[in-house]
Structure 1
Amino acid sequence: MTQPEGRSARAVQRAVLDAIGVLLPVACVGCGAVDRAVCGRCRVLLVGAPPYVAERPGIGAWAAVRYEGAVASAIGAYKDGGRTDAAGPLSWALVGAIAAALHGEPHGTIEVCTVPSTVAAMRARGYAPVDLLLARRGIRPSHVLRLTRAHEDQAGLGAAARRANADGALEARRPLDGRRFLLVDDVLTTGSTLVEARRALSVAEGSVAAVAVLAETPLRRSSGHGGLTGDTP
């Protein structure tokens, strides 16, 4: 497709979306404005930010955006509000973090690994949020991890409680024999889930080359839980 043709196709797409917005108005998942699933202003917040490294005790990750403001609202609506119509812009943000995490790595030598959702979360949502974002960009993860036991939703737990909740909760489905993985998750808070995923892969003789997440929660001091924790995702 030539550049003029590409611009023409995008103009037609915008016109169609505008027409749909008039007939079937929808609120932006980020700011609530009556526009599209993600309005232009919030789209810039999601896609325009360069990925950066977020460090947590025991693990670091490439994160596309910070989990705050309109970004937090958008991710929350997508994960727990059934707003899968926001998957497109969110998936582009996640892919940006993935590209940064894999920069310089030999092509085709690293598999993508996601953290499995609990049965309760899958039943409530009807989809796995991270897997759906990856599918939008044509990325198929290797489902090599599984839950070994039921555990609480991490949201609302402090740093120590998150570590205890995640400890020993995952295992590999089979020996991994030197396979290398990019761990991908949605929101990085304390890092306990990703540390546990890395442990489970290591026990099965796999390794983690890098970690990429959609958003990172800025750390703050918490008086009620002890140590560092994040704003609840």
Structure 2
Amino acid sequence: MTTTTASHPSFRSLARESALDAAAILLPIRCAGCGAPDRRVCPSCTRALAPRPERASVAGLPVWAGLDYDGVARRVLLAYKDGGRADLAAALASPLRAAVAAAQREYGEPSRESALLPVLIPSTRAARRRRGFHPTGSVLARAHILVPPLWGALRLTRQTADQARLGAAGRAANRTGSLAASARLRGRSCLIVDDIVTSGSTVAEAARAIQAVGGRIAGVAAIARTPRRGTAMAGATPGELGANPVVPAVP
């Protein structure tokens, strides 16, 4: 695996977030979940962030999410991604780790043959400038999962608009054809990792790009999933889904 150096984007992000964490000790802060003073995340909201990994089907892909994207989880994620609260990455690591572990359990204990390779979706230049870090990558770096991601496995072929402002059809059009995958993914069993899964257009495009270079799609692991979007898949198994499912177009 690639060794992290001072020039690596993840190193710079972690250094920046460490500085923000240190500043948060000196500056007044409030709980991102409820607004209680002097806490990044208060004990009550920490309990609300306890992972409850569930499997669903989104855009034809199996998705394991640590949390539902509502209530405390939604407020903390919004503060983390768009409120300048990079210090919240550690609080979100447990839900993401639980989602990755749940996905891996479906494929057996990790070994050279069965370990799933985490693949991160890249941020746009505008999002990276605005935030100063990669939200999913920063949380994953704190999740201490067994298999590290292959950094740069996906790249943007064009800059896309902010998905939050688009409807389902607009999200699909915005993402279609926007990603390309590294040939290093050929023959690998890949687990797409994202922060929030909503319509599924982003992860569907990631799956298309990975399959185009001969990678296998195990599914998606996310910190949270928008509850109204997915349909539960109780009792389904990877064998029933197929080792390399065809990803349909997102309506």
Say whether the fold is shared (TM-score over 0.5): yes
Larger RCO, structure (CA 8 Å, separation 6 or more)? 2
Distance in 1 (CA, whole Å) between partners of 2:184 and 2:46 is: 41
Identical positions, percent: 45
Alignment partners' CA distance in 2, 1:40 and 1:56: 32
Task: Give the TM-score of the pair, scaled to structure 1.
Answer: 0.80
Partner of 1:79: 81
- Structure 1 residues 57-136: aligned runs within 5 Å: 57-103=59-105, 104-108=107-111, 109-136=115-142
- The CA distance in 2 between the partners of 1:117 and 1:29, in whole Å, is 23
The structure whose residues are more often strand, as a share, is 1
* CA distance in 1 between partners of 2:163 and 2:48 (Å): 25
CA shift, 1:205, in A, is 0.4
Provide the secondary structure at the position in 2 that maps to 1:208.
Answer: strand
How many equivalent pairs are there?
A: 201
What is the CA-CA distance between 1:175 and the residue it aligns to? Answer: 5.1
1:187 touches 1:213 (CA, 8 Å); kept in 2?
A: yes
Cross-structure match for 1:4: none
C-alpha separation in 2, matches of 1:117 and 1:67? 20
Name the CA distance, whole Å, in 2 between partners of 1:173 and 1:206.
Answer: 9
Aligned residue in 1 for 2:159: 150
Greater Rg by CA:
1
TM-score, normalising length from structure 2? 0.75
**Aligned equivalents of 1:114, 1:175: Cα separation in 2:** 14
How far apart, CA to CA, are the structure 2 residues paired with 1:24 and 1:172?
Answer: 42
Structure 1 unpaired stretches of 5+: 1-19, 221-227
Question: For 2:188 and 2:116, how far apart are their aligned partners in 1?
Answer: 8
- List alignment gaps of at least 5 residues for structure 2: 1-23, 230-249
The alignment's C-alpha RMSD in Å is: 2.0
Distance in 2 between the 1:179 and 1:124 partners? 33
